[in-house]
Every structure is written in C-alpha cells, then in structure tokens.
Amino acid sequence: MHRFVLTALFTLALFPSLASALDIKNIRPCYAPFGATRYDLNLLPGDVLFITYELEGLATDPKTGKANYETTLELIDDPAKKDPKILYSKKTPNEVVPQLGAAKMPGDLHVIMGAQQAPGKYGVRLQVRDNISKDAKVFVYPFSVIPQGFGFVGVSAPAIGFPGQHYVTGFGLVNLALNGKKDPEVDITIKILGDNGVAVAPAVEIKLPRDMPEGIKLDEANFVPLQYPIYLNRPGRFTIEIQAHDKFGNQKKELKYPVTVLDVNHFVGK
C-alpha cells in the first residue's frame, strides 16, 4: 500500500502555489466505501476505482461552525504528460459541521471505467478548495486500464467487521470463455488466511455454471455477479484470497485483500 500513497503525496509537491494549512492525507484506494485496501491498480474496462482520503486544516465559520469547501474531481489521461487531457470533470460543493471537532473531514471519490475504455495510463486528479480560508490542495493518483479479458470487477469488501457479524464480499467476473452451448467452465476457490498465511478454515469452492445466479445469459452480457458471506466468529487479522480459473479460456486470476475483525470489548471495556 505504501508505494501508492507515496506516489499520490509526491504529486502534491508539484503544486507549491497551493501550499497552505489545508492538507489531504491518508489517500487510499479501496474496494467500495469503508472497503479493504486495493493493491492492484490495473483495472479492466467496466471496473470502478474507489479512493478515500482525509481533509485536515479546514477553516470553519465562527458563527455557524460550518466548514465550506468545494471539490473538483477529474479523470485525466497519462498524468506523466506535461498537460494531460481532461476526460471527465465534476465539481461538488460541501457545507458540513465537524461535530467531533478538529476541523477534519473524511472524503471519498470514485470513477467508473467505461465498458469500452481504451487501455493505457490514467490518473484521478482531485482539487479541494476551502471557501473560507481560500486555501487549496491537489492530488493526482495514477492507475492503468488493461485490455479486455477475464477477471474481477466491481469488488465490494469491507475493511473491518465485528464478531457475530455476517460479512459479505461481492464481486463480478467478466469476459468468461464459453463453449458451443454458451456456458462457461470456471472454478472459484475462496480461502481465509490467518496472520501467518495459513488457512483458518476449509476452502470454499464455487463452480460455474453450476452456481451461477438465475437469469444470467452470458451471450448477451458476459458478466457474472457473485457474493460470498462469512460469519465472523472471532477477532483477528485475516486475508481473503479468491482464485478464479477459467478452464475454457485457460486463464487464472487472483483477488486478495486484508480484513480486520475488531474486538468491541477492547474499545468500550467490559
């Protein structure tokens, strides 16, 4: 994770004229809101890039206690270019009260890759402007889009959970190879690993087309949505490892992410 964060923070230094008390910290790609950290930034067309961050040093109105700021989200082509092309832009006004104090506010953004998104290097550029202090800050986060192929898209995986909770991972598989009957042959293996990298429970197997949701017609839309629930019976740090083997296409893809199950008593006492 650290190399991604350092890349984004280094980009902040490219805008010295925007140096101010306002700061953007803890920039992190993840799998949906409150999601597990995403380490692979090679996206397939149709996938979603989700990023969270934190704003520090926001000014507040002394009368209302409100922070007032505007974010400008841009999708750009190769951020290494001197003047990258803006492919998408959206401004969002924000007026909020930091009710827990500290003039600190969480934020998130997401960009959806088009189904026909051309492969190549891209970047997310976010500018935050404090309308009270007039301070501003920018970060650029690079990623890549790879050619169409078999793989995972639209992953939703919470970063944390609590004992007694039913934790659910959701993901889609795209571009499955089909036989003459328009059926796939894909084996999916899900493992839960402990801190030492050893499985803590037997692996779960999902087979397609046997376990494919009803109504899926892959010759019309080559996409299979899947979910995997886990009952969290104890606290600890774990890694979820999902391997998908497309037998007709002779391709293997892997999805891995960390999950922490928190002990509530550790935080609230007995």
Please state, in angstroms and rounded to a whole number, the distance separating the CA atoms of residues 38 and 15.
26
Structural contact between residues 224 and 213, judged by C-beta atoms closer than 8 angstroms: yes
What single-letter amino acid sits at 149? G
What single-letter amino acid sits at 131? N
The pLDDT of residue 102 is: 86
Mapping DSSP to helix (H, G, I), strand (E, B) and coil, where does residue 55 land?
A: strand
Q: On the CB side of 215, how many CA atoms lie within 13 Å of its CA?
A: 1
Judge if the upstream peptide bond of residue 79 is cis by omega within 30 degrees of 0. no
The domains of the chain are located at: 2-145, 151-268
Closest CA to 155 of 240, 252, 248: 240
Structural contact between residues 122 and 144, judged by C-beta atoms closer than 8 angstroms: yes
Class of domain 2-145 (CATH, top level):
mainly beta
Q: What is the CATH number of domain 151-268?
A: 2.60.40.3880
Structural contact between residues 188 and 243, judged by C-beta atoms closer than 8 angstroms: yes
The pLDDT of residue 265 is: 85
The pLDDT of residue 267 is: 80
pTM of the full structure: 0.88
The pLDDT of residue 60 is: 94
The pLDDT of residue 10 is: 36
* CB atoms inside a 10 Å sphere around CB 114: 11
The pLDDT of residue 270 is: 59
Structural contact between residues 122 and 75, judged by C-beta atoms closer than 8 angstroms: yes
Structural contact between residues 184 and 192, judged by C-beta atoms closer than 8 angstroms: no
Structural contact between residues 200 and 193, judged by C-beta atoms closer than 8 angstroms: yes
Strand partners, 167: 230
Judge if 2-145 and 151-268 fold alike in CATH terms: yes
> Residue 241 gets which letter from DSSP?
E
Mind listing the pLDDT tens digit for each residue in 107-136? 999 999 999 999 999 999 999 999 999 999
Q: What angle do CA 154, 156, 162 make, to 5 degrees?
A: 175
Sequence-ordered alpha helix ranges (H) in the chain: 2-12, 264-268
Distances (CA, A) of 236 to 22, 55, 231, 240: 35, 29, 13, 13
> Which regions in the chain score pLDDT beneath 70?
1-20, 269-270
Please state, in angstroms and rounded to a whole number, the distance separating the CA atoms of residues 116 and 147.
9
Please list, in sequence order, all residues whose beta carbon lies within 8 angstroms of the beta carbon of residue 20, skipping any fewer than 6 positions away. 57, 130, 133, 135, 136, 137
Please state, in angstroms and rounded to a whole number, the distance separating the CA atoms of residues 26 and 105.
12
**Element of type H or E holding 185:** none
